[in-house]
Amino acid sequence: MRKTVRVLIVFIFIILFIFCIISALKYRNQVKNLSLQNIELMKEVNTLKVTNSKKHLIDIELEKCINNDYSTAGMTNCVDTSANEWTKEIEKYYSLLEKVMTKEQFKALQNSQKFWEKYKQAQSNVNKSVFDNIQGTMYINILASEQMNIIKQRARELENLYYFCSKK
């Protein structure tokens, strides 16, 4: 009887040992798959960082424009032209996103865009109230630049969204 109990106990330990090994192998494969997914995600994030760290053509054209006419009026005109180009980028990516997003996603984007338009207007009002009361012509350029940066930031946000949505 004692021998049977010992054999049974050994058998149970062997079964438990095998179960532990199988569980460990499954866990290892799950961790490996998660690691591979994380690596892919990091590649995407790094690609996005590289994309955003490169100078955009609009920024390059802005620098050229300012280098050609660095008067206050000239710089303001350059920045206004750049802001108009960034607005076109917003429109471009908004249209592209409509094609790649689900209806629910695009509805959320439409809602976000409405709130962004309100934010842009409110922030523009704040910027004007601050810079219109400061003496010196350079603040005209700073105001124009601040207004353009609001638009540029939104354009880059939509570009990033398009990058991820089009990866499906």
Q: Which of 19, 38, 54 is the last residue of a domain?
A: 54
List pLDDT tens digits, range 92-127: 999 999 999 999 999 999 999 999 999 999 999 999
Residues 16 and 98 in one domain: no
Under a CB-based contact definition with an 8 Å cutoff, are residues 88 and 61 in contact? Answer: no
Give whole-number Cα distances, 101 to 25, 60, 107, 108, 157, in Å: 38, 30, 9, 10, 15
How many domains, the chain? 2
Total-model pTM: 0.68
Residues 116 and 85 in one domain: yes
DSSP state of 167: T
Q: Which of 54, 82, 99 is the last residue of a domain?
A: 54
Structural domain harbouring 18: 1-54
List pLDDT tens digits, range 10-24: 667 677 777 777 777
